[in-house]
Amino acid sequence: MENTSPTPASVSPQPVHLVLLVHGMWGDPQHLSNMASRLREQFPASSIKPGQPLLDVLVAEANRGNHTYDGVDWGAERVADEFLSYVDKLEREGKVVQRLSIVGYSLGGLIARYLIGILETRNFFSRVEPRAFYTFATPHIGLPRYPSFYSSLTYTLGPRFLSRTGEQFYAIDQWGTSGRPLLEVMADPQGVFYRGLARFARREVYANAAGDVTVPYVTSAIEVHDPFFHYQSNGIQLEFDPKHPHMITKWELPVPVEKPQLAIMSWEYLRSLYPTRPVLPPHLQFSYPYNYVFFALSPLLVPFVAPIILLALVYRFSAATRESRRRIALLESDSEWEDNTSLALSRRPTLMSLSMSGWSTPTSSMEQGSSESTTPAPTPSPPMNGNNNNALTLPKPATSSSSASLLQLATLAATSDGSDGPLPAENALAASAGEQPMLTSLQLRCAEQLNKLGWGKKLVLIEGVRNAHGPLICRAAFQMQGKDVLDVWAEGFGL
């Protein structure tokens, strides 16, 4: 009897929707385990209908721990190598990646945007559909500076103690042969990073409206104004999803009124002097009653313990930075990477040569205001459902007039029906300029260009925690407050 069973060559490969998760600074793949589990729970293999792609979740492992000091670009090169190897592995197993979605947490969102540029240069999206791009608490326009001593301190020390990544966070680096900071290059409409990002059918950010000490609202939501800075006292009206209590569905600022002059030494005057942002860094913030114990003992502890803690932190960050710079030097001189045309960091000009003419000089198309571009028109996101380290020159904050000119463009208000609408200028300007982040002109330009892509913006408010950065994604067992946030993300994920 003739055997009519199909041969392996005649069997159609199983289509796969591959979802890549990328962790953040000092991160570990375990930090994203709850995200991965929640997505797999939403789309079990038994629920896949004929013709639908099979869900496959890859949590990047190639850039963990202190390797995150090595820069957005080197981190993305490692993840690209791991990702493309995994795609090859799936093909050997008789599967084919049909769709791709990428999720970046914190620094991982910037790494993911760089990775998209690498995939764009390889024509990866000519055979794979770029489905969705999500970021959670990602500093899209870098880390902003606030009018506080602690912020000024981190703004000064961050680039020195976080190696290449710190320089890129604060936009003092000169990337490749462009002579411009990497964040500016990645927000340039003429470049491969922007062009690749524009291909995704859906772009969505999840941002902590308040309480995120690590990545503030303005940079994670790609905004230039923070209406939530004094949300407990500025009269802002917030509405929440009854099924997902941390999700803000609507917010509205009151019509501004002229504040009365406070009498010197009055109770209201003294209260106005109380800092609105945490005075101490997160690791020194204690809950009741330990906060009172700490402050009571501080006259004894500070003179003796503080110098020891400070020296330990300086040693830790300095050692990690030195190790990172040695590692980068070795990687850039590694012939194995040099021979790999698509992944070699030392051949980053390859990415630039495949971009448009705006990359050829330090003067970007963002600065020129050019209206001509061959970048594909971005697909609007669907509506929201239910190196010289010795002399560092830090960017200067933009003037208030520059900020005001971009205010209406970049500031959006989420409405109850899930659409995005411009916030009235008089409401957006209600808060005092002195209480707002001091964004640089570069950060304003990046926000302007990135917002042109069209993003769904999910705003989250998690109260009662020292830092909402980890709870946003349920990063650890003691940070499960954001479970409803993951539910919203998984339930709205389109397979």
| Tens-digit pLDDT string for the chain (495 aa) | 455 555 455 578 899 999 999 999 999 999 999 999 999 999 998 888 887 899 999 999 999 888 898 999 999 999 999 999 999 999 999 999 999 999 999 999 999 999 999 999 999 999 999 999 999 999 999 999 988 777 788 888 878 888 899 999 999 998 877 789 999 999 999 999 999 999 999 999 999 999 999 999 999 999 999 999 888 888 899 999 999 999 999 999 887 656 677 777 777 776 666 665 555 555 556 666 776 676 677 777 767 766 776 777 776 777 777 787 788 788 777 655 554 433 343 344 445 444 443 333 333 444 443 333 334 444 444 333 334 333 444 555 554 433 444 444 333 333 333 334 333 333 344 334 457 899 999 999 999 999 999 999 999 999 999 899 999 999 999 999 999 999 999 999 988
Pairing relationship of beta strands 247-252 and 237-240 according to DSSP bridges: antiparallel
Question: Domain residue spans in the chain?
Answer: 14-491
CA–CA separation, 101 and 199 (whole Å): 11
**φ, ψ for residue 16, nearest 5 deg:** -130, 135
Dmax over Cα atoms in the chain, in whole Å? 102
Report angle CA 325, 340, 389 to the nearest 5 degrees. 20
Is 228 strand, coil or helix? coil
Copy the structure tokens of residue 481: 């407050």
- pTM equals 0.77
Map residue 411 onto helix, strand or coil: coil
Beta strands 247-252 and 456-461 are: antiparallel
SS3 content of the chain, % helix, strand, coil (to 5): 45, 15, 40
pLDDT of residue 331: 75
Name the residue type at position 258. Answer: E
Are the C-beta atoms of residues 376 and 195 closer than 8 Å to each other?
yes
Q: What is the dihedral of CA 182, 187, 192, 193, to 10 degrees?
A: 80
Give the phi and the psi of residue 76 in degrees, each rounded to 5.
Answer: -70, -35
